[in-house]
Amino acid sequence: MKSRQWLLARRPTAEITPDHFEMVERDIGEPDTGKGEILVKHQILVCAPAMRGWMQADRPRFVPGIDPGDPIMALGGAKVVKSANPAFPEGSRIRCVGAWQEYQVLDPKGAGCELIEDDLSLADAIGIYSTNALTAYFGLLKVGEPKQGETLVVSGAAGSTGSVVVQIGKIKGLRVIGIAGGAEKCGWVLDDYGADAVIDYKNENVAERLAALCPDGIDVFFDNVGGDILQAAVDNIAQYGRIVLCGQISGYDADRPAPGPRDMMQLVYGSIRMQGFLLYDYFRDFDQGRTDLRHWVDSGLIKHREDIRPGFENLPETYAALFNGENRGSLLALLDEEALRKPER
Ligand X SMILES: NC(=O)c1ccc[n+]([C@@H]2O[C@H](COP(=O)([O-])OP(=O)(O)OC[C@H]3O[C@@H](n4cnc5c(N)ncnc54)[C@H](OP(=O)(O)O)[C@@H]3O)[C@@H](O)[C@H]2O)c1
Binding site for ligand X (CB under 6 A): 48-50, 131-132, 135, 156, 158-162, 180-181, 185, 224-225, 246-247, 249-250, 277-279, 322-323, 325, 327, 330
| Beta carbon of residue 24, minimum distance to ligand X (angstroms, whole number) | 27
User: Chain centroid to CA 69: how far?
Assistant: 25
Say if residues 90 and 83 touch (Cβ distance below 8 Å): yes
Sheet holding 237-245, edge to edge: 197-200, 175-180, 151-155, 218-223, 237-245, 273-276
Q: Whose Cβ is closer to ligand X: residue 94's or residue 279's?
A: 279
Q: Whose Cβ is closer to ligand X: residue 184's or residue 216's?
A: 184
| Beta carbon of residue 315, minimum distance to ligand X (angstroms, whole number) | 16
| Beta carbon of residue 223, minimum distance to ligand X (angstroms, whole number) | 8
Nearest alpha carbon to residue 23 among 3, 6, 42, 2: 6
Nearest alpha carbon to residue 126 among 46, 30, 203, 21: 46
DSSP state of 117: P
| Beta carbon of residue 327, minimum distance to ligand X (angstroms, whole number) | 5
Residues in the chain, total: 345
**What does each C-alpha distance from 324 to 129, 153, 222, 330 come to in angstroms?**
25, 22, 21, 14
| Beta carbon of residue 165, minimum distance to ligand X (angstroms, whole number) | 9
CA atoms within 13 A on the CB side of 180: 28
Q: Whose Cβ is closer to ligand X: residue 39's or residue 48's?
A: 48
Angle CA 198–165–53, to nearest 5: 100
Q: Whose Cβ is closer to ligand X: residue 135's or residue 318's?
A: 135
| Beta carbon of residue 110, minimum distance to ligand X (angstroms, whole number) | 20
Q: Whose Cβ is closer to ligand X: residue 174's or residue 331's?
A: 331
Q: Whose Cβ is closer to ligand X: residue 50's or residue 267's?
A: 50
Say if residues 212 and 237 touch (Cβ distance below 8 Å): no
Environment class of residue 327 by beta-carbon count within 10 Å: exposed (0-12), middle (13-18) or buried (19+)? buried
What is the C-alpha separation between 295 and 297, in angstroms, rounded? 6
Q: Whose Cβ is closer to ligand X: residue 99's or residue 157's?
A: 157
| Beta carbon of residue 276, minimum distance to ligand X (angstroms, whole number) | 7
